[in-house]
């Protein structure tokens, strides 16, 4: 399995600005493309966190928040079936469906080191910030008897400094993602805990 850079910097057609899937259509795509429930949960958690950040921290309107939510929900949609072509396949599918270029660019920029696409707005930067941390926090919740209940930022910070815990989570990616925003890591961790704990 290998991840390839996309060798592209522009995605979708500006003519399609504002053209979004409904949230039901996005969930249907997720169901069809991602049978793995754990991976589905990761994307539902990302959708919830992205939407909440848009509404609570960016003052976004409902349409803009839907863009953030859809990007979160579909960012790994091709991972299970097309690991060698992640995330080219989902990008091309959304282009074929004439979806808003900002949503497609956001998905393309969720791993700059891997896909070669620079995050260039807040939605792009935040999907990159949230992706590894969301998975990491979920891994931390799974080993706690009470899961998310009573989970605090300090314990997550401590696990981040323990390289053997969730070793597949790349700490350098987290550091790089955070260097592009002004919000401290502790605030991001608390926000993720608060907004993904209820997602099923």
- CB 131, min distance to Fe ion, A: 4
Minimum distance from residue 189 beta carbon to Fe ion (Å)? 17
Omega within 30 of 0 (cis) for the link into 55? no
Q: Binding-site residue total for Fe ion (CB under 5 A)?
A: 2
What one-character-per-residue DSSP string does 128-161 give? HHHHHHHHHHHHHHHTSTTTTTT--HHHHHHHHT
44 vs 159 by CB, closer to Fe ion: 44
Tokens encoding 61: 């309107």
Residue 76 lies near Fe ion (rule: CB under 5 A): yes
Rank residues 69 and 131 by Cβ distance to Fe ion and give the closer one.
131
HSE at residue 137, side-chain half, CA atoms within 13 A, is 31
Whose Cβ is closer to Fe ion: residue 11's or residue 128's? 128
Contact pick of 131, 169, 174, 196 for Fe ion (by CB under 5 A): 131
With binding defined as CB under 5 A, does residue 78 bind Fe ion? no
Task: Yes or no: say if 9 and 97 are a contact pair by the CB < 8 Å rule.
Answer: no
Interface residues with Fe ion (CB under 5 A)? 76, 131
């Amino acid at each position: 399995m290998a991840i390839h850079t996309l060798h592209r910097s522009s995605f979708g057609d500006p003519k399609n600005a504002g053209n979004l899937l409904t949230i039901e259509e996005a969930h249907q795509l997720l169901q069809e493309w991602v049978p793995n429930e754990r991976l589905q949960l990761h994307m539902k958690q990302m959708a919830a966190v992205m939407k909440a950040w848009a509404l609570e921290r960016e003052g976004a309107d409902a349409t803009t928040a839907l863009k953030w939510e859809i990007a979160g929900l579909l960012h790994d949609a091709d991972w299970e079936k097309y690991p060698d072509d992640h995330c080219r396949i989902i990008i091309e599918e959304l282009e074929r469906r004439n979806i808003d270029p900002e949503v497609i660019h956001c998905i393309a920029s969720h791993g700059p080191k891997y896909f070669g696409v620079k995050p260039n707005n807040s939605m792009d930067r935040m999907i990159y910030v949230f992706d590894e941390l969301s998975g990491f926090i979920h891994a931390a919740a799974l080993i706690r008897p009470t899961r998310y209940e009573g989970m605090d930022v300090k314990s997550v910070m401590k696990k981040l400094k323990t390289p053997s815990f969730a070793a597949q989570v790349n700490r350098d990616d987290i550091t790089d993602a955070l260097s592009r925003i002004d919000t401290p890591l502790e605030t991001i961790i608390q926000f993720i805990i608060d907004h993904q704990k209820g997602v099923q």
